[in-house]
Structure 1
């Protein structure tokens, strides 16, 4: 397939992220050609992304590639690609649960899944990891309706609720086999409930956990310490050398201030998230319920029900999370569900920068874990 001078594209906000959504058939099948094209679409590697769709931040430099699924448990496949800001790199080493919120509506918009008369559920296979999710959203009159009264922190106004439910975890919730590990003298809990995440008390790295993302990013001593912890955690979690990847995420925990269960500050992996990712939140919420984990002593968990409110720099995220145990007595996820919203911003044609002006991007291969 030759590189097109123009291609179909839908720009959508998914949760607290924004990305370009494409049908796989509209992109080159060769990963290197596809990534080079997407880098030009988003405006990389310029750190301002001034000549493309990107918004000069990792949360607005994302891509969803959607196609019919051959998996009988799914309707569509969703490949997430993170287009780096400031360097020529495209990575498929992680999922994105916020961009996931737009995949179901996009699949209906593109005719991959027929719309129900009132509501539609789309079963999604996340190609990056092989995990499954089901997104349910309103489709009155068999058309996607993005309007509604659901609010999520970090997004102005209201929109239609997209309920994303994840099946009971089949993998290891505790990749290291322990609820608590020590890395460089810091107690951590390594958890994976859809996103490999390392939990630690903010106080253990000499910060409060209430700082702004900007203040945390400018703390070079903290950055060096977190970088070292993340590299060692990658090996402990069976991820190998993670120096060139964005996982595992690191989440600092502090006691809640606004009625939630815990305050969070999440690094992705160097920038501090202005909120918290959906899949990262799924891992944090599950981690708070693990007996002996670092979050158990900090969190104020509800006395009844599955819902946990995670406070983050721009508000909160509510997530339903419950655990059970496997035959060996190890904790496993029983139920994980979250309410997000999504909105179609434009649907049309994008004109990438000419190929001869763009460097060949580095590709970070991922695939099922």
Structure 2
């Protein structure tokens, strides 16, 4: 039997997927996951029977609804739908998809547009954190046209500023969940961090890499991927996340000195079993938050390369990635490198389609 659901397909940052209302989905998580799996066409490499694009970056769903939280306008639940398996992970957050949550909330009538800019306050249900989205609006509508260009997306659009509040310890006990700036796992020095999302950060050269390899080359190296996965699972245990074999968290990040002058460092971000063609917003925030913490893998690289002074609090961090770069502003409370008030960056979004999606439930 075919069923249907109202939907808007949007690009948010370097990701794309359907945006749905929470009120149009069942409360039961298993029933909700079954619908998302059918919508995306998971279980097939091309997701040919759904709207997924056969890639983790286009197999994402944003679920949005009016919020009951006093400091939020809307709630946002992110879902990562597995391409090959009938599995949905509601644990991670996606900052790129978040880029389109503000526009979607206005388009859906959940937030009233204001002249020039509309502030949409979002509560992320995956992390229970708040994000401020500054959305350009004009004449009572979202303004998508603009001259802002972000790496990994063709053309230009209007700038959407995202400010992530209280980003430390979204899934664990703090910015350094193991209590150490560096842990030794299987002879490899890693930094385990949790800011916007949990990550395990590895110096690329420790794995015999430059850190500037293209994603396809990294994805084709099965021995490398297996080794990264072993490190990731061990890190998950150390971070208090338990057995992460069926979870996408923590995300592995390979870091190296930047090639371009003016950049802080270079990153290769995994999602977690394939290399991201750019870098996730939340992953970039985690990396940027670690740069100022003395002794972390990122800090040692930045200081060693001369892109950061020793004991300097980096208010601006620029990260190279396979598609270009991403700039972030990090605001600390006082002089404490681990006490971060907010992290902000610019993204863009675009409305692609609005209509009805059809799906079939399993027998």
The normalised TM-score by structure 1 is 0.92
| C-alpha contact (below 8 Å) 2:168/2:196 kept by paired residues | no
| Partner residue in 2 for 1:316 | 325
Residues 91 and 170 of structure 1, relative CA distance in 2, 3 Å threshold: closer
| Partner residue in 2 for 1:173 | 175
| Partner residue in 2 for 1:222 | 224
- Partner of 2:242, secondary structure, is coil
Residues 169 and 356 of structure 1, relative CA distance in 2, 3 Å threshold: closer
Q: CA deviation at 1:334?
A: 2.9
Q: CA deviation at 1:302?
A: 5.6
Q: CA deviation at 1:238?
A: 1.1
Gaps of 5+ in 2: none
In the TM superposition, 1:34-183 aligns within 5 A as 34-169=32-167, 171=169, 172-183=174-185
Gaps of 5+ in 1: 358-369
Q: Deviations over 1:267-325 (max 9, x none)?
A: 11110111000001000011111111111121254679722110001111111124347
CA distance in structure 1 between the aligned counterparts of 2:292 and 2:180, rounded to whole angstroms? 14
Runs of 4+ in 1 over 4 A off after TM superposition: 302-305
CA distance in structure 2 between the aligned counterparts of 1:227 and 1:62, rounded to whole angstroms? 22
| C-alpha contact (below 8 Å) 1:289/1:323 kept by paired residues | no
One of 230, 235, 238 as aligned partner of 1:233: 235
CA distance in structure 1 between the aligned counterparts of 2:361 and 2:164, rounded to whole angstroms? 39
Q: CA deviation at 1:355?
A: 2.5
| Partner residue in 2 for 1:346 | 353
Q: Does 1:186 align with 2:168?
A: no
- Cα-Cα RMSD: 1.7
CA distance in structure 1 between the aligned counterparts of 2:180 and 2:200, rounded to whole angstroms? 12
CA distance in structure 1 between the aligned counterparts of 2:361 and 2:28, rounded to whole angstroms? 15
The normalised TM-score by structure 2 is 0.93
Q: CA deviation at 1:197?
A: 0.8
CA distance in structure 2 between the aligned counterparts of 1:204 and 1:305, rounded to whole angstroms? 25
One of 228, 241, 259 as aligned partner of 1:257: 259
| C-alpha contact (below 8 Å) 2:264/2:308 kept by paired residues | yes
CA distance in structure 1 between the aligned counterparts of 2:257 and 2:348, rounded to whole angstroms? 27
| Partner residue in 2 for 1:306 | 315
CA distance in structure 2 between the aligned counterparts of 1:93 and 1:78, rounded to whole angstroms? 12
Residues 168 and 7 of structure 1, relative CA distance in 2, 3 Å threshold: closer
| Partner residue in 1 for 2:206 | 204
CA distance in structure 1 between the aligned counterparts of 2:219 and 2:52, rounded to whole angstroms? 21
Q: CA deviation at 1:30?
A: 1.8
Of structures 1 and 2, the one scoring higher in RCO (CA 8 A, sep 6+) is 1
